[in-house]
Amino acid sequence: MLHQLVEILADGFVIGAIFALGAAGFTMIFGVSGVLNLAHGSIMVIAALVAWFCAEHTPLGIYGGALVGIAASVASTYLLYGLVIRPLNHSKRIADNERPVFVLTATLLVAIILQGVLDYAFGSSPITTPTLIDGVWRVAGVTIPYSQILIGVIAWLVLGALWYFVTRTRPGKAMLAASMSTTGLALVGYDIRKVQRQVWGLYGLLAGIAGVLLASFTGASSDIAISLTVNAFIIVVLGGLGNVAGSLGAAYIIGFLGTLTAYLISPAIREVPGLLALVLILYIRPQGLFGRH
């Protein structure tokens, strides 16, 4: 029993950190741009698959491949913003009250296209990037790879850097202010378009790092893109729409619920408890667990 408990805690901690990292960017995009990006999972998978390909088939190795994968994620988000989101947001042919539906539908179509392209380019079989470091740590009869510990540490270091950026730097504070009121930010002299570009770039960076870490921990394939998007959506709603801190707490709730389900029942239904929790929260507390009244 203790053996299994330690495994659940170790795996839940790491997967929760990865989910938190991906959801943080997803939440920022919604807070600043008002976009629920349904291509989120595909962008994470792009980073994962590109990192794997570079690590396995080029001299770059695991760390060089990871950097290329993250760069591919950032490039993908900028293309999504520049070619899809921004034109739709500025189109005079779309009524303002219909614009969110058009944007949401467009990101869904992009997700479907990207999944097809990734399936064609890399296949649908799961891949796993090489371990970041070798060696294991034995505790309470459980063998925990050092690579797994490093993944959790990296995720939290990035989250810490994100917190510092948002709360202590001028561009980060501008993004935080934009999530509260873009009109107010514009009135004090900020270029909203510049802030939008910056937040999409930051989103691509966070999603890319999360995707690369996920590929090293549990593996990745084009088929998991939808489930990653669903998880991010659940986390954002549970944490409170636009609430980054709330998303961190919600990520760990979903991470541990999924891990418990995988260990105690079946990995095939690890996402079901999160969906049930979402339905319950929407019914009793629509603003989310950490959202304001």
User: Does a structural domain hold residue 292?
Assistant: no
User: Does a structural domain hold residue 257?
Assistant: yes
Predicted confidence at residue 189, as pLDDT, reads 77
Q: Please state the domain count of the chain.
A: 1
Token couple for 139: 């505790």
Return averaged pLDDT per consecutive 10 residues of the chain, 293 residues in all: 77 91 90 89 95 92 94 96 92 87 94 93 86 81 85 93 92 85 78 89 96 91 90 86 80 89 85 86 77 54
Q: What are phi and psi of 2, to 5 degrees?
A: -65, -40
Q: What is the pLDDT of residues 67-90, one digit of tens each?
A: 999 999 999 999 999 999 999 988
Backbone conformation region of residue 266, classed left if phi is above 0, alpha if psi is from -120 to 50, else beta:
beta
- CATH number of 191's domain: 1.10.3470
Predicted confidence at residue 6, as pLDDT, reads 79
10 Å Cβ neighbour count for 269? 12
Predicted confidence at residue 80, as pLDDT, reads 96
User: Does a structural domain hold residue 289?
Assistant: no
- pTM of the entire predicted model: 0.93
Q: What are phi and psi of 194, to 5 degrees?
A: -65, -45
User: Does a structural domain hold residue 152?
Assistant: yes
Predicted confidence at residue 292, as pLDDT, reads 53
User: Does a structural domain hold residue 131?
Assistant: yes
Q: How many CA atoms lie within 13 A of 237 on its CB side?
A: 20
Residues 279, 105: Cα–Cα separation, whole Å: 22
Element (H, E) at 145: strand 142-145
Token couple for 196: 């939008």
What residues pair up with 136 in beta bridges, in sequence order? Answer: 145
User: Does a structural domain hold residue 123?
Assistant: yes
User: Does a structural domain hold residue 136?
Assistant: yes
- Could you tell me the residue range of the domain that residue 6 belongs to? 2-284
Q: What is the pLDDT of residues 197-249, one digit of tens each?
A: 999 999 999 999 999 999 998 889 988 999 899 899 888 888 877 677 788 88
Predicted confidence at residue 245, as pLDDT, reads 78
Residues 110, 114: Cα–Cα separation, whole Å: 6
User: Does a structural domain hold residue 43?
Assistant: yes
Helices (H), the chain: 2-33, 40-57, 61-80, 86-90, 99-122, 146-168, 170-180, 182-187, 192-217, 225-239, 244-264, 272-284
